[in-house]
A and B are shown apart, each in its own frame.
Chain A
């Protein structure tokens, strides 16, 4: 276990990937969105999606965690299992920190009536249904899902090169398309909609966790035979 924690410490030795770049993205997206809010000459609700950028940016945090640190971890004689567990734990810690920041910013946004400009970028009530803990969980799951996805595709690339990467992407796209076709053919869209609404924020988070588990397992299975 201590070697898994050492992998976490190794990831955080150079703060660029997990700390500096996400904070720059967060700060940049925040400042840019505020500027845009200020430029819109309306008193209505102003909605901006750019505030979510740091969440999606965790896709590339996952990519960098693999490409930049896995070869070095092999020189440090870690097992692939230790690297995987330590990397997922690092992603979880960073996702948690980002989610906490989002909650704080979301609460400020709410308290200041949208930064005094009726703007919305953190959508804390939409994510949490009025519950701060649920909003935190939602942010956490989205960041972690992005992280795990980036990590897995980077591992696929490392092991199977470009062709393998595109095969994996094509596989995911085809699977999604098939699902859409199947739902449409069986006219199940209302049922799917009801299911998602019934699931509620907590149910959606649970689905997210399940997807993270599946994608993470895939990463581990590919990593087991990956060379540095």
Chain B
């Protein structure tokens, strides 16, 4: 993997809170990375410092091997449309797209127009009169049609209905396939984007708790279901990140790949296994981030 963004010991302190706590992470070139975490975990802060919209308290950021701050050569190759992006007063979507066309060298006008149609975006209404979903569509269209070499999407789907979200995922994936580039997708609708993302970075309380490829993360946890005592015996000494019990039945989610011997033992004990979705895994890990140790770079 070639890293196109390198974040090194990045700390961001606001007056009383630590938004980013000594974050070191890289983002792979020409891949889609999911930046996952709860609200307030530090996702937006991280992306806004990488794009030089915000400033680090400590640490460094490099993109394309150089510092982005006041660096037109780097910034012009990146696109970051915030979830709460402000547009010019009285501007209409076509104004915003006209500006994006000026500033992003790879802008594809036809693509933008077809997206406008697919999102049914009213072009002659001022942006401040758009609904939340239509506002998100403006940002999504700028993000996709700009075809910047590094594109950040910050919770891009707010207010979009299920159909529009699917349009976003499909069009993003299709355009990414024909024009590979680096995409960082921040989200808490993890299951929805699970099939899109190749890498997973999970941030919790300003710290990176997972940084790995999505494939290896998928087998990283399993839920063991069965009779309580059997489950307890099997999970003894393993890293259990969640348990549910109902009567004499218990479900325990354990971290770590299961070995052949494990599977044999499970069959012997009459226990079942259930796969753990990315969303469940992230939820459990961010709930237990302070108890479990980080799994940075697992099987990278």
- How many of A's residues come within 8 Å of B, CB to CB? 26
The stretch of B29-37, B97-105, B190-198, B272-280 that contacts the partner chain: B97-105
Query: Which of A's residues lie within 8 Å of B, judged by CB?
Result: 3, 6, 9-10, 13-14, 16-17, 64, 68-69, 71-72, 74-82, 224-225, 227-228
CB-defined contacts of B99 to chain A, threshold 8 Å: 10, 13, 72, 76
B95-114 to A contact mask, C-beta < 8 Å, 1/0: 11011101110000000000
- How many of B's residues come within 8 Å of A, CB to CB? 33
The yes or no answer to B72 lying at the interface (CB within 8 A) is yes
CB-defined contacts of B76 to chain A, threshold 8 Å: 3, 77
Q: A14-B90, A72-B86 are in contact. Are A6 and B98 (CB under 8 A)?
A: no
Q: A77-B80, A79-B70 are in contact. Are A72 and B53 (CB under 8 A)?
A: no
CB-defined contacts of B98 to chain A, threshold 8 Å: 13
Q: Which residue of B lies closest to A13 (CB)?
A: B95
Q: A9-B102, A77-B75, A79-B75 are in contact. Are A72 and B70 (CB under 8 A)?
A: no
Q: Which residue of B lies closest to A224 (CB)?
A: B70
Q: How far is the CA of A17 from the CA of B79 in the complex (A)?
A: 26
Q: How far is the CA of A180 from the CA of B89 in the complex (A)?
A: 40
The yes or no answer to B78 lying at the interface (CB within 8 A) is yes
Given A77-B79, A77-B148, 10 additional A-B pairs, CB 8 A: A10-B88, A10-B99, A14-B91, A16-B90, A68-B88, A72-B91, A75-B81, A76-B102, A224-B70, A228-B86
Q: Determine chain B's interface SS by DSSP, over half rule.
A: loop
- B88, A69: Cβ atoms closer than 8 Å: yes
| Those 3 A-B pairs whose CB atoms lie nearest each other, nearest first | A71-B86, A76-B103, A77-B75
Q: How far is the CA of A14 from the CA of B80 in the complex (A)?
A: 22
- B85, A71: Cβ atoms closer than 8 Å: yes
Q: How far is the CA of A3 from the CA of B95 in the complex (A)?
A: 17
Q: How far is the CA of A54 from the CA of B72 in the complex (A)?
A: 35
Q: Within the complex, what minimum Cβ distance (angstroms) separates A22 from chain B?
A: 15
Q: Within the complex, what minimum Cβ distance (angstroms) separates A213 from chain B?
A: 21
CB-defined contacts of B79 to chain A, threshold 8 Å: 75, 77
The residue among A74, A78, A80 with the most chain B CB atoms within 10 A of its own CB is: A74
